[in-house]
A and B are shown apart, each in its own frame.
Chain A
């Protein structure tokens, strides 16, 4: 099992999500909370909830009765420590903030080329229909600046989405990772994503 410290470079803070798949019930309240908080355009979203088959729409249990299972996987920008989108962005619209590891998007620099769309292993970007400007989760940076957590975690009725500094040994996110089996999505991408999923 890879540990969080394997995934990130040395720095003072690295903010991350820890998502408890055992708690998530696939209700999509996080999707709505994010849209409201960030005024996300109609028809777009910054996060989606996949079911265990990797589908956000056609949700159904896997297996053969009585051995069936189903869980849900909320996914958004993974704020990768070695973000492929940052590497390919030709205008530096996407960049990584040193102080806390957030992958930021400067919309004024985005030219709608969609190189990030090709590079992102998590399908985490959406695009304006008119001129193609990208949009994505920013961990509710405006709330972090006020000492609050992201809106998706706030509205989650089962408290499945937790947020914190993965480099702080006293943080709840670290305590969970130390005691629960966890994985990252598409580990083979090598992007060092900063969303850790606790076992379903």
Chain B
């Protein structure tokens, strides 16, 4: 049924690659064309602010799937190209003055780094980390300079700070708000702020200077080649290079121009379908309904980029597979991994699990007695159990959450015991076995 159809995928991130994989796996037999502005095949972005900055890894290591994957799945790839417009009436996109017909259009245009828009924003020493080229620039600076100012106290800023600090750089973080990791924690109590506070202490202990409630007014290049970061309070922070991580903006212009309904993201349903039934979207650029939220949400997470396209791929081959999973995120900083699942905002109770001083603890969030989210530092087993619980709709009491001696994994068994599906035939009816050389281990 899909043999004579063409799926055009716009964008070259993880959602695009997952759409290819899932649609082929689910039986889409038609033509697939990938058009990406990136010059390399879809790759993993999370390492760009983490281990990739150390320079120990190649660009090939980053690739989400190898070149052979696209050949195997008979995908035509057009890299370094952009789609200029969509003609929804004729079901065509225009790219490089060529009109390409589609039966299904999948928009995985992702997001771009939010810019500060202040004077000096475009200096070469000011790096907005989004793509692999940005990471290479940053890596080059990191090898030749020693003072860094990081604007933003979110995951990207903190992860970069950790890598640079461990490489011996002097790092200052300027934060617009009054806490780190603004998407983590809740205002319910001091427990609700435990994870951001913990990471503030960790960074400080590593020698990172963190300044809150700072708004950047300007970047100035000095005669010595350094960059002065000037704040609205007229304070000056000198650095050899600056990294800015202040959020991302969804790339929706193509969809907006085509008349597809957007609101801080391309609005899609739980199957990834936009206001045009032939146009689907997933990943950072898509705003979708979520069972745990009253309003549609847009997620800039790996989980979302992988799972949402599975539902979209199912849709184009006629399978109803709604995207309803609980979202999760992670971040690696120094020797710590923080993993979050669900949502902390809206909670009326935060429960501490484990010991803060040990660096192995969690905070679980409840609203009206029901678990809504959890954040764990170096408690990966609890994280996995909570994610499974929330996806399964299993309940957890406040008392269980706070009892660190209780195994959450034991509360939500993974699967049945491993065994053979069918019993063995009773031994007397079997033929006599072949005798082997007792020293033969492998052929």
Contact = CB atoms under 8 A, between A and B. Distances in A.
A154 B441 CA distance: 6
Interface in A54-68: 54-55
A91 interface: yes
Contact of A200 (B332, B418, B424): B424
B307 to A, nearest CB: 8
Contacts of A164: 442-443
Given A90-B306, A127-B381, A50 B438 contact: no
Classify the secondary structure of A's interface with B.
Answer: loop
Interface residues of B, number: 50
Interface of B: 25, 44, 46-47, 51, 57, 64-65, 68, 302-303, 305-306, 328, 330, 332, 335-337, 339, 360, 378, 380-381, 383-384, 387-388, 414-415, 417-422, 424-425, 427, 430-431, 433-434, 436, 438-443
A112 B420 contact: no
A144 B434 CA distance: 26
5 contacts: A108-B51, A121-B415, A164-B443, A175-B434, A183-B424
Contacts of A141: none
Given A159-B441, A183-B420, A186-B418, 9 more contacts: A22-B433, A87-B25, A113-B328, A121-B415, A129-B381, A130-B378, A163-B441, A185-B420, A199-B424
Contacts of A122: 418
Contact of B443 (A118, A154, A168): A168
Interface string A105-116: 000110111100
Contacts of B387: 113-114
6 A-B pairs with the lowest CB-CB distances in the bound complex, closest first: A132-B380, A114-B384, A149-B442, A54-B417, A164-B443, A171-B443
B418 A185 contact: yes
A98 interface: yes
A184 B193 CA distance: 50
B439 A159 contact: yes
Given A118-B414, A131-B332, A179-B434, A112 B337 contact: yes
Nearest to A111: B330
